[in-house]
């Protein structure tokens, strides 16, 4: 197709030129089986609508034409317009005009060619070579209050990849022809030329009240999932399918509809490939309030507390949050800047507005403290209220933001930190939901739903085998130690507080504290641990073996309060690097330890050691790290050759040279007794 420069300066000239180009593909043809006149008129109206708003310069228009041509050559459908210069309104409108001018005629010509090919039998050959098969189809009228079985006719093959067809629910389809259509593909992503959006949501979301507009729309469920999930809202399913279609994606992936829920083999295979599904999607659309309805910005949800949503946020190339912008704007005092809002979409069923905003931007606006704006979104986590409520919400969102933005060891530590503040109905999913983020794929068929510990060991083994440091050690210095494996914090519990799930610990009596409150204590939450012991190893029993600088220590007392600004900040050394006085170290739990000796030959006979683990640094090099960055661990021998973790200690940077030059290198194994 000729990518000519735009026509004359007048709107009429531009419109007529575009219409002539479109009209060429609607020549009279008795074999042309769809309404060419209707399609032409629809195209004319579309061109006129965007042409009247187009005021971009020639250079921007040419860029739009080029993008349209690229999408035409690759077969990528983009009915909502090319994503060019998203923050530039002029470029956006020019892109829309260019795509409609070039993509629409190409699409209609392909329809015409398909109808002509049907006479020669070519269509049947093409159908046999198609990469997908429709394995389930049901009219929308039959979905209401139904429990569907996507493998009811035996067409689905366990262990295959499936997607929902958005075209059958798009605005281009008459509402009386709406149907739920599920296609099956022979291989898991990446699948060439199969653009799709993945949906992230919670199975038990925010309830629908009788006064909510969504309560007018019925729902349905899926065989095998009806006992532990909300209904799939028919209105919301239609809307997200239209969103996907408008964003240029033919398909969407929704676990409830794309997994055979009552087939164990299929579920395990899908879980094993879950990271690939989200990693290779065109974008992920987050529905924080669940699959029944969209929620406004001021309504808190439990999305960030679920295990699987961590991977669903981090793995995709682009992650957006869909929220009810109509209710958000209507709530007095709750105004949200549109500067970062990617797009506003009208729900024609409700006549309300919804908005799509990048998840990262929403997290940043939810985290910030001391802003001039009076409103902070609460949809991911409500950071309003007292200091503790604000801090725990902030820590939870900062960990997720770090997992999305950082690289390398800092990213892996943020993933562990975020995972520890989440929960799952199946304990083993706490591991399966993050393994792909560490480039690890475990055999999901080898573990039962309660085999969290065995799966955790296997994941840790694979991380260490790849030559990476034990990133889980950088999770926190204040959480209680686990009994097995003892190198990881104790597994927290889930508690529902005011309809929102909290992840924390029962600390005796009626005391309950969220993990997020305890995780950082004295420190800002934007940190990572550098210079960790590496290489290291772990055996099948969870015994963790590593080497680092260490000194023997003696327990003195407990019950002190650790004062960060004073304790462990001073060290007097002689000219040759020896300590002038005895060295006492206060741990973060208030216990006090005396360093016994720094000689190389003193390990025999001692059962307790202080071991160097690394340095705590901020994410950004532009931030000041402070003068207390050294982190050491107190370990105690509790069986022959086996140690357990007793306490974490923070040391001032004045200790670094002493540690590196005076503490001997030792090898330890932390684990359970044999």
52 lies in the same domain as 174: no
Sort strands 630-639 and 642-651 into parallel, antiparallel or unpaired: antiparallel
For tokens 């050690």, what's the residue? 473
Are 323 and 297 a contacting pair, CB within 8 Å? yes
Residues 207 and 320 both lie in one domain: yes
Nearest by Cα to 164 from 228, 231, 227, 243: 243
Whether residue 398 lies inside any domain: the answer is: no
Identify whether the C-beta of residue 354 lies closer than 8 Å to the C-beta of residue 344.
Answer: yes
Local structure of 523: helix, strand or coil: coil
* Same domain, yes or no: 117 and 135: no
Per-residue tokens: 291: 């699959």
Q: Do 121 and 155 lie in a common domain?
A: no
Helix (H, G, I), strand (E, B) or coil at 135: strand
| Highest mean pLDDT out of 11-20, 119-128, 291-300 | 291-300
In-domain check, residue 365: no
Q: Do 147 and 226 meet the contact criterion of CB atoms below 8 Å apart?
A: yes
In whole angstroms, give the CA distance from residue 419 to residue 257.
Answer: 26
- Closest by CA position to 290, among listed 420, 394, 425, 200: 200
pTM of the predicted model as reported, rounded to 2 decimal places: 0.78
Alpha carbons 420 and 127: distance in angstroms, whole number: 48
pLDDT digits (tens, 9 = 90+) for 522-569: 667 889 999 999 999 999 889 999 999 999 999 999 988 999 889 999
Give yes or no for residue 292 having a pLDDT over 50.
yes
Domain presence at residue 273 = yes
Q: Give the chain's domain count.
A: 4
Domain that holds residue 499: 417-523
Report the DSSP beta bridge partners of residue 90.
none
- Point out the least confidently predicted range of 36-50, 266-280, 422-436, 460-474: 36-50
Q: Report whether pLDDT(153) > 50.
A: yes
Same domain, 120 and 138: no
Beta carbons of 238 and 164 less than 8 angstroms apart: no
Tens digit of pLDDT for each residue in 576-594? 778 878 899 999 999 999 9
664 with 564, same domain: the answer is yes
Least confident of 258-267, 569-578, 643-652: 569-578
Indicate the SS3 state at residue 222: strand
Q: Are 117 and 138 in contact (CB under 8 A)?
A: no
pLDDT at 330: 41
pLDDT of residue 535: 95
Q: What is the pLDDT of residues 310-328, one digit of tens each?
A: 999 999 999 999 988 755 5
Q: What is the mean pLDDT of the chain?
A: 78
Dmax over Cα atoms in the chain, in whole Å?
102
Average pLDDT over residues 459-478: 94
In a domain, 459, yes or no: yes
Least confident of 263-277, 349-363, 449-463, 528-542: 349-363
Q: What average pLDDT does the segment 404-420 reach?
A: 95
pLDDT of residue 389: 60
């Amino acid at each position: 197709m000729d990518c000519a420069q735009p026509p004359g300066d007048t709107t009429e000239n531009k419109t007529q030129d575009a219409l002539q180009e479109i009209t060429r593909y609607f020549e009279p043809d008795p074999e042309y089986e769809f309404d060419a006149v209707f399609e032409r008129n629809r195209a004319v109206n579309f061109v006129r609508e965007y042409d009247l708003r187009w005021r971009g310069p020639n250079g921007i228009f040419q860029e739009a034409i080029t993008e349209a041509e690229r999408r035409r050559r690759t077969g990528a459908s983009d009915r909502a317009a090319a994503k060019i210069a998203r923050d530039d309104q002029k470029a956006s409108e020019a892109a829309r005009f260019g795509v409609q001018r070039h993509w629409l005629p190409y699409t209609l010509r392909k329809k015409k060619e398909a109808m002509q090919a049907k006479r020669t039998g070519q269509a049947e050959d093409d159908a046999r070579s198609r990469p997908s098969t429709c394995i389930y189809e049901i009219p929308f009228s039959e979905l209401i209050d139904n429990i569907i079985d996507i493998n009811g006719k035996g067409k689905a093959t366990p262990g295959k990849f499936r997607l929902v067809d958005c075209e059958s629910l798009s605005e281009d389809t008459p509402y009386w022809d709406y149907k739920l259509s599920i296609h099956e593909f022979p291989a898991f992503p990446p699948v060439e030329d199969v653009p799709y959006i993945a949906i992230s949501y919670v199975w038990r979301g925010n309830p629908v009240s009788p006064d909510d507009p969504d309560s007018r729309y019925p729902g349905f469920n899926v065989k095998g999932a009806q006992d532990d999930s909300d209904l799939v809202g028919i209105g919301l399913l239609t809307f997200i399918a239209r969103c996907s279609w408008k964003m240029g994606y033919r398909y969407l992936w929704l676990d409830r509809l794309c997994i055979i829920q009552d087939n164990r083999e299929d579920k395990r295979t899908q879980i094993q490939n879950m990271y690939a599904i989200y990693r290779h999607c065109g974008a992920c659309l987050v529905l924080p309030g669940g699959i029944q309805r969209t929620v406004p910005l001021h309504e808190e949800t439990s999305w960030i507390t679920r295990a699987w949503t961590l991977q669903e946020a981090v793995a995709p190339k682009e992650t957006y949050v869909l929220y009810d912008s109509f209710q958000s704007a209507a709530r007095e005092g709750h105004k949200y800047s549109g500067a970062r809002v990617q797009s506003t979409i009208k729900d024609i069923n409700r006549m309300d507005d919804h908005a799509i905003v990048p998840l990262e931007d929403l997290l940043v606006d939810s985290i910030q403290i001391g802003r001039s704006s009076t409103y902070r979104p609460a949809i991911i986590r409500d950071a309003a209220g007292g200091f503790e409520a604000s801090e725990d919400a902030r820590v939870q969102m900062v960990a997720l933001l770090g997992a999305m933005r950082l690289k390398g060891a800092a990213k892996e530590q943020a993933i562990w930190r975020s995972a520890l503040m989440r929960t799952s109905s199946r304990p083993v999913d706490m591991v399966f939901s993050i393994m792909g983020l560490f480039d690890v794929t475990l055999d999901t068929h080898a573990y039962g739903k309660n085999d969290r510990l065995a799966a955790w060991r296997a994941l840790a083994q694979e991380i260490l085998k790849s030559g990476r440091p034990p990133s889980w050690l950088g999770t926190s210095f204040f959480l209680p130690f686990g009994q097995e494996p003892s190198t990881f914090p104790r597994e927290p519990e889930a508690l529902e507080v005011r309809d929102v799930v909290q992840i924390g610990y029962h600390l005796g009596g009626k005391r309950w504290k969220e993990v997020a409150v305890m995780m950082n204590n004295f420190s800002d939450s934007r940190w990572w641990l550098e210079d960790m012991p590496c290489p290291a190893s772990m055996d099948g029993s969870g015994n963790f073996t590593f080497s680092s600088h260490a000194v023997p220590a003696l327990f003195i007392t407990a019950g002190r309060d650790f004062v960060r600004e004073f304790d462990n900040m001073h060290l007097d050394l002689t000219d040759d690097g020896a300590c002038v006085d005895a060295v006492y170290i206060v741990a973060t739990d208030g216990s006090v330890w005396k360093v016994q000796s720094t000689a190389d030959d003193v390990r025999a006979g001692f059962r307790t050691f202080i071991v160097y683990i690394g340095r705590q640094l901020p994410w950004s090099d532009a931030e000041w790290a402070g003068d207390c960055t050294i982190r050491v661990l107190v370990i105690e021998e509790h069986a022959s050759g086996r140690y357990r973790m007793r306490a974490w200690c923070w040391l001032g940077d004045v200790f670094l040279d002493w540690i590196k030059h005076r503490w001997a290198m030792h090898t330890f194994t932390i684990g359970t007794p044999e």
